[in-house]
Amino acid sequence: MLNIYRLWITVSITITILGSGCNRPSEYHQMVERELARGVTYDTLFLGVTFGMTSKDFYAHCWDLNKKGLVKQGPQNTTVEYKVNELKKPATMNFYPSFYEDKIYEMPVTFTYEAWAPWNKSLFADSLQLDVLKLYEKWYGKGFLKVEHSLKGAAYVKVDGNRRISIYKGTSDKDVHVLYTDLTVDQKIKAEKTSNKSSD
């Protein structure tokens, strides 16, 4: 699981840059401040997985989903794979969480059309991103803010209380990434890192 963890450290950094380097940073930060100020907690992610779930509970839950035929092991056994049939074409959704104090606080997800091919331009990440956005508006409601980054392109971000969801294209033409983050835990981690640097 270390390789996938290192990969999503990079993803987290990308999202941080995206939030601070986009052309609408004030609107994004206002959304974050407004939602955190509400003091409302949204822990629901998908398939019964939630923020705050321990690693033991997560593995047990995925085992139950596997026995029901809903999920299976992903590529190289580093993720959980779920078949998504709610997009315009069948797709796979691979995910594996990041833990803080043995509790889920971040969930990186990768979507890929099953029929993707280098010659099939209609199934490239540009189309998939918009398809995933529509699905997520169905799952979590409208209100995704489009942000543009000079290097990373367009991303869509929604914050509800403590839960931030970011949808953006990967480095290849086939993948779209979604990153769920519990902002209250994320802020705590950043504060700890700042404190540790100050004490060095």
Domain of residue 94 covers: 2-199
pLDDT for the residue 26 = 86
pLDDT for the residue 4 = 45
For residue 19, pLDDT beyond 60: no
Q: Give residue-wise pLDDT tens across range 135-186.
A: 999 999 999 999 987 666 899 999 999 999 999 998 889 999 999 999 999 9
pLDDT for the residue 13 = 42
Q: Give residue-wise pLDDT tens across range 129-139.
A: 999 999 999 99
For residue 197, pLDDT beyond 80: no
What is the Cα gyration radius of the chain?
17
* 189-198 average pLDDT score: 83
d(CA 117, CA 107): 27
Q: How many domains does the chain have?
A: 1
Nearest-CA neighbor of 50 among 61, 40, 39?
A: 61
For residue 15, pLDDT beyond 70: no
For residue 53, pLDDT beyond 90: yes
Provide the Cα torsion 122, 123, 126, 131; round to 10°: 110
Q: Give residue-wise pLDDT tens across range 59-71.
A: 999 999 999 999 9
pTM of the shown model: 0.87
Nearest-CA neighbor of 180 among 28, 47, 61, 46?
A: 46
User: Across the chain, what does the average pLDDT equal?
Assistant: 88
* 91-112 average pLDDT score: 98
